[in-house]
A and B are shown apart, each in its own frame.
Chain A
């Protein structure tokens, strides 16, 4: 009996909007870059995350890929991160290329701007996916065959679209309310599709690493690769795929180096491969090797976020709804302008993080620091966003376009 671990890491950084005042609207068209030293400063954050996470993780992954011929993984990297790495950290981009050039690392397709466009404008969504594919091909020389949507947001419509677009695989959260009695440890077929297959995140095992790894109050702390491999191999009956999906930044940023997270990763392939029949597969490799065991029907939107596993962290309050609708209502005017910079800025404003920062779910509980935001309040996040939007409308009006 063979059993495959499917490791998938997602790398993303948004272009954060600087504290952008109404007094700058109409004068300063630069919404993203701020003075060095300011919290929302993107260069600062890119440098920090590169040094703490991307570089050491890539270095280690490359070593593991060379050491273990059986070791493979999938990764995704958003257009907004690629742009910033090109600008400030070409060395990091180079290290990603080295991984892909081993031939054992798959890159996934997604929206270039890490947006929720699928749920607001299908035309815009397709453009962003194409932009991303083009960028990935230019940089890495590969064309992705697996698709992931922002925050693993997913429903039947998305699977149908991806199937029609020719993707072989798509991924989402392995959430019990949609799985029912089924296990996430098999390959599935999304409802209403012909060819595409679905992999669902084993969130219990994934979160053991991503969230609980450094939690000293956790009864299983400390977690090592041996114990984890044992859990993974015991997960479910006759399991075929163990889908370990998480943010790239888990390594070194969410879990600091001092927690031993790199040691854990270093030993994981060795420990997993010790058992006969165990191997690693990329997402594309997994759907090729295993048949789909059943179909999965997900009419509602599922994501990998929060305890609700829905989009409420992005669209749950009035400000977020207002901001999203307002931004997407500009689409035809923006396209009409044919102004590359305006279109780009509009798209950067679509990045999901902008709306995530406006979330008041945690703020209400007084747990204000439970999430990472460059602003000290969700209300400020909204104001700076809307000011940037306003400036965009000023630019369109100046080009003679009706809003």
Chain B
């Protein structure tokens, strides 16, 4: 009888867990619509900046630290975008795994990576292991606003523009999760700085990039700038000032874009994880119910056989 009680209480607790998972799943799916809207809202600005940078690249030979390789320091910055909350399946752990791979790759190339982490889960992971982190940001990882993008890009730009002896970095890598669709989210490594500017006309895939993972810029310009030859702009007050103003904004909007796609991925992966958890809880309940029935049946059979056995014994004694 005792085990029946145990089964019943396990079924009850699994049932309430299932309800929680189910609720989480529904919350996540309602957030996805929001995340999509935020991403769509930010798109026109991103496009405008991208077009402007294209225009700049098309008819000026850009001389700006942002586009130039610097070799004066082995330090490079790595920004990992993780989530604030758990219950998102392998979201954060795959980012961390990819980040670790990247870090050791950079190490073996003789570079000194500095880690920047966004998202509470990633921060706790590295803090717990007493790893050195250059800077961290937390909050709103499932719906990042412009403010957080501004903060992150300002900090990273500061590190990038700083001279070598003051902690400057020569490159910036971003590890983030790309939202392919509801089911597929892919972890990607993007080298964001120095910017690879390719004039719209020669955007063929022949640049000597490390790998196709870094070819985002080229991929983008193919679709946005393909048809018309870009007009001859006049720049006011001067090309340099326009560059100074626009390139940091470009970086900021790229980072914002990464944050947004990462947020969408986080939500989608949370929905998937919660869906699986709900299914598992249901299976578990089914299994437990079956076991409960079995044990009840066994108990009944045993009782019966005891009664019959004792009745038989009485009968034989009377004879």
Q: Do A and B come from one complex?
A: no
Interface residues of A, Cβ cutoff 8 Å to B:
none
